[in-house]
Amino acid sequence: MLDAYPDKFPDKRTEQKRSFDEVFAQLDVPLVCVCGNHDVGNAPTIETISRYRDEFGDDWFSFVCGGVLFICLNSQYFHDGTHVLSSGINAEYGWSGLKGI
């Protein structure tokens, strides 16, 4: 969604977030945000995950639209979860949120 990496260019990212909010506030349709490496970094940290969640919401979730189940995952945990695996912010959070689907 945003181009500037949160851990490398925080000031530029803040400006991009402001522009994102202005543009997408005008939408008349639901917007589903799914994070990627530019949102949480190639190797996410507790800080980048927390910032993403504060700004955009959960990084793991599911929903049904038109009879179709959508499962949205934060794949960066699988790319490099080194900084978050022992923090409680990890892939298990996502899987527990999807139980019962």
| Inter-residue contact 23 to 2 (CB < 8 Å) | no
Q: What is the pLDDT of residues 9-30, one digit of tens each?
A: 889 999 999 999 999 999 999 8
For residue 86, pLDDT over 70 is answered with no
Q: Please give the model's pTM, rounded to 2 decimal places.
A: 0.78
For residue 101, pLDDT over 90 is answered with no
Q: What is the pLDDT of residue 83?
A: 79
For residue 67, pLDDT over 90 is answered with yes
The Cα 61–Cα 45 span in angstroms is 19
For residue 91, pLDDT over 70 is answered with no
Looking at per-residue pLDDT, the higher value among 7 and 69 belongs to 69
Separation in Å, CA 23 to CA 26, 31, 53, 71, 93: 6, 12, 20, 26, 31
For residue 99, pLDDT over 80 is answered with no
The Cα 26–Cα 48 span in angstroms is 27
